[in-house]
Structures are given as structure tokens and as C-alpha cells.
Amino acid sequence: EESLQMWDLNKRLEAYLARVKFLEEENEVLRAEIQSAKGSPAGESWRGKYEEELRALRDALDHAFKEKCTAELARDNLYEEVQQVKSRCQKEQAAREEAKKQLSLSRKELEEERRAQIWLKERAVQLEKEVEALLEVHEEEKAGLDQEIASYSQSLESFRCAPVAFQPVEVEDYSKRLSEIWKGAVETYKAEVSQLEGSLCQAKENLWKAVENNHQSQLQLQHLEKDLAGLKARKEMLEESLAQQWQEQRGEAEKFQLAMEALEQEQQSLRVQIARVLEDRQQLMHLKMSLSLEVATYRTLLEAESTRLQMPAG
């Protein structure tokens, strides 16, 4: 009965030993594979490849961050330039309004000068008419005085009286006085005419100055309009380039975000694979420990059985 039990135990022990040997061989094979994977150039290349990809992605991320910073600086510079352009446009708009005001004032002055010139022309024509009327009146008075003198001379010749009592001395004095008065009036009208001519020349000069100022104001206004159109075109170009840079930066940010998400997914899958490998290794270690304990137990049993069998012989 004991021999049957020993034979059964031996069979079971052989089975367990074969299983332990098989598991140890598998363990050795797995250990060799792990060591070869760790020390082999393929594993190193795989690891180096992923490290190189991670390094390249980090460099790309740093480069994208630097480009983002440069784009932000360019955006700030463009914003400042746009603000400067806006301020310059406002200044030129104010200058344009001021030029329009000066142009309107020049037009008003030109109208006033034209009105003054028209009034001076009318005044000169009126004075010429008055001078002609005075000359006609003077000629008529002179003709009347000549007729009176002739009538007085005829009446004096008809009377035979003393010539001293009837000499036309008073008439000649009156004629001289009238001629002096007429000369004074003519000189006065000449002075007034010369003064009006001077005023007319001054008005013409002022009119020419107003026309010249108007021309200069129109040229300045055209120059300001050209500058304003150029600044508007530059503003539109800057806004378009800024929008294009924003679009490019947004597209690059989306690409890097997708790349980061793919890397995170790959990292998560690698973590899962490493966890599975560690779990398999832990199970193998537990199985090895249990088999080692079972082998030790069977060894102790065999040693005890062998010592029991050897004791009667001794």
C-alpha cells in the first residue's frame, strides 16, 4: 500500500516536475526575450525612435511656441502701426477739414474782394459821370459868363461913360475864382479817383493772393487726399496680412493640438501595454513561487520518505 502511494506520489511528482521544468523553460525564454528586447539594437532603435520622435515633437512644439510669440509680437506691432495709421488719418482728416475751412474762408474773401471790386468799378464810373457832369456844368457856366461879359461889354460900349467905372474887373475876378474852384474840384476828384485806383489795385492784389491761396489749398487738399488713399490701402493690406497670419497660426495650433492628442493616445496605449506586460510578469512570478513551494514540499516529503526507508536498513 505504501509502495502504491509512493508510486502515485512519484507520478504526481514527475508531472509537477515536468510542469515546473516547462514553466521554468518558458520563464527563461521570456526572460531571454525581455533581456534581448532590452539589450538588442531593435529595442534600442524602437526606444530611440520614439525618443527621437518625442524630441522632434518637443522641438516642433518649442518652435511653434516661438512662432506664436513672434506672431503675437508681429500682431502687437501691426496693431500699433494700425493705431499710428488711424491717428495719422485722424490728423490728416483734421488737416483736411482745416484746409476746407481755409478754402471756404478764402472763397468768402474772394467773394468780398469781387464785391468790393465791383463796387469800386461802379464808384469809379459814378465819379467819372459826376466829373463829366461838373465839366459840362462848368462849360455851361463859363459860356454863360462869356455871354454876360459880352452883353456887359456891349452895354458899356453903348453908354459913353467913363471907362474906369465900367471895367469888367469884378467879372474877371469871379471867372478866376470859378476857374480856381473848378480846378480845386478837379484836383479833389482826381485825388479821389487816384485813391480809388489804389484801392482797386490793392483789391486786385488781394484777389490775386486769395486766388493763389485757394490754389495752394486745393493742391494741399489733393496731396492730403492722395496720402489718405495710400494710408487706407496700407491699412487694408495690414489688416489682410494680420488676418492671414491669424489663420495660419490657428491652423498650426490645430495641427499641433492634433499631434499632441495623437501622442497622448499613443502614450496611453504604451502605458496599457506596459501594465499588461508587468501584470503577466507578476502572474508568472506568483506561479513560479507557488511551484517552487510545491517542489520544496515534495522534496521534503521525498527526503522524509527516503530517510524513513533507510532507517530499517541501518
The pLDDT score that the predictor gives to residue 126 is 81
Rounded distance, CA 175 to CA 144, Å?
11
The pLDDT score that the predictor gives to residue 135 is 77
- Listed as ranges, residues in the chain with pLDDT below 50 are 159-167, 169, 313-314
The pLDDT score that the predictor gives to residue 170 is 58
Cβ–Cβ < 8 Å for 214, 106: yes
The pLDDT score that the predictor gives to residue 163 is 45
* 294: number of Cβ within 10 Å: 15
Q: Is the dihedral of CA 37, 39, 41, 46 positive or negative?
A: positive
Q: At what angle do helices 169-313 and 41-158 cross, to 10 degrees?
A: 170
The pLDDT score that the predictor gives to residue 288 is 80
Rounded distance, CA 199 to CA 4, Å?
157
Rounded distance, CA 102 to CA 108, Å?
10
- Report the half-sphere exposure of 97 (CA within 13 A, side-chain side): 5
Instruction: Provide, for the chain, the percentages of residues in helix, strand and coil under a 3-state DSSP scheme, each rounded to the nearest 5.
Output: 95, 0, 5
